[in-house]
Structure 1
Amino acid sequence: MRLKDDNKTEAIFEATIQLLNEIGFAETSMSKIAKRAGVSAATIYVYFQNKEDMLGKLYLNVKQKMSRRMFQGFADTAPVQEGFELVVRNYLEFILNNKDEFLFIEQFTNSPLLQNLCLEESGSLFNPIYELFEQGKRQGLFKQEDTRLLITYAMFPLAQLAKDHYNGTFPFDRSKMSTVIQMSWDAIKA
């Protein structure tokens, strides 16, 4: 039995993200991934059962990285607005510093594959933001609406700005962060 090498897993993940962003899901084959990663196609099957298994694990891996970055320095004892600003700033930093991973998540999120893979596992990674928003509602800081609706209005416009930035239609940089964070807060505050 062959031992798994974390470096090979990362190389396979990186190659997959690059190919998916370049040519899309339909055109990305295991053989193309293997060639880009510098491993044999058989090696991929040591790590993953099939393409669907690999994509699910890759998606979970990237969501874990995003979650760790979003909640870096976050303390659930901090005031709600302070926690909100930190989480949003961290999310924006993740987006700006991890273009390939961000574009992969956006593409994968809009794929029918997501419905079949790892929804439960990845959902729990973001429990702290749900609790933060619930706390904001309890304290009367946020609108008394469904928490998912509040999160959507606060966070999804950020992803759209990032896509526009990467498409070259909106020059988003760190100097605009405070404005964007304030606008996200204003969208949901009571």
Structure 2
Amino acid sequence: MIVYYRIMRHKDENKNEAIFQATIQLLNEIGFSNISMSKIAKRANVSSSTIYVYFDNKEDMLGKLYMNVKQKLSANVLAGVNDLMPVKSAFELVIRNQIDFLINHKDEFLFLEQFSNSPLIQILCLEDTAPMFQSLIDLVNRGKKEKLLKERDPLMLLMQVHAPISGLVKMHLNDEFRLDEKNIEELIEMIWDAIKA
């Protein structure tokens, strides 16, 4: 009797991360329309067949990459935030964390900006990333309950937090504006003024 064993390749987290980083870099350099699995494999120093151990196809990989980057963003933005902090202090920490992440993870930031404005986000029917940021929604609702924040939809209030940060970080990365401590403090004050009751 002859027994055949199927050799299963195990997933290596380092290769997975290398594939993700190669994809982000290429997307930022050449855009979505020019990217291919073979270009990603070459940049990540893996064979094209290796990519298919991790992902079904390019769309599967892009969707998982987006979810991976959003998870990193939420973990970093919410680092150190807890329910015992005063609402204003928690928002200050969220703002500082977000600025720090976006500046120190430029490639991921540019990828998220590009992907969020791409029709791919609808085509891929990605799972909702809102649960990753539920703590921020809870913070907004706590601020509203304590009569510290405007009685508005939490997502509208969070856009008042995110949009100016994103815009100024882009200008900072393009050397059009300097986000130093003084400017960060002023930004925090302006954001708080925009959302406070």
- Aligned match of 1:23 in 30, 37, 40? 30
Pairing 1:54-133 to 2, within 5 Å after superposition = 54-115=61-122, 116-120=124-128, 122-133=129-140
- Taking a change above 3 Å as real, the CA distance of residues 173 and 30 of structure 1, as seen in their structure-2 partners, is farther
Taking only the aligned residue pairs, the percentage that are identical comes to 54
- Structure 1 unaligned blocks of 5 or more: none
In the TM superposition, structure 1's runs of 4+ consecutive aligned residues that sit over 6 Å from their partners are none
CA deviations on 1:142-178 (whole Å, 9 max, x unpaired) are 1111111111112211111112222332232444211
**Equivalent residues, number:** 189
Larger C-alpha radius of gyration, 1 or 2? 2
Partner in structure 1 of residue 5 of structure 2: none
CA deviations on 1:106-128 (whole Å, 9 max, x unpaired) are 111111111234242x2210000
Partner in structure 2 of residue 155 of structure 1: 162
Partner in structure 2 of residue 45 of structure 1: 52
- Structure 2 unaligned blocks of 5 or more: 1-7
**What is the TM-score normalised by the length of structure 1?**
0.95
Conserved 8 A contact 1:155-1:184: no
Pairing 1:166-181 to 2, within 5 Å after superposition = 166-181=173-188
Please give the secondary structure, in 1, of the residue aligned with 2:33. Answer: coil
Please give the secondary structure, in 1, of the residue aligned with 2:9. Answer: coil
Select the structure that is richer in helix: 1
Conserved 8 A contact 1:134-1:147: yes
* 1:34 partnered with 2:41: yes
**What is the TM-score normalised by the length of structure 2?**
0.92
Please give the secondary structure, in 1, of the residue aligned with 2:179. Answer: coil
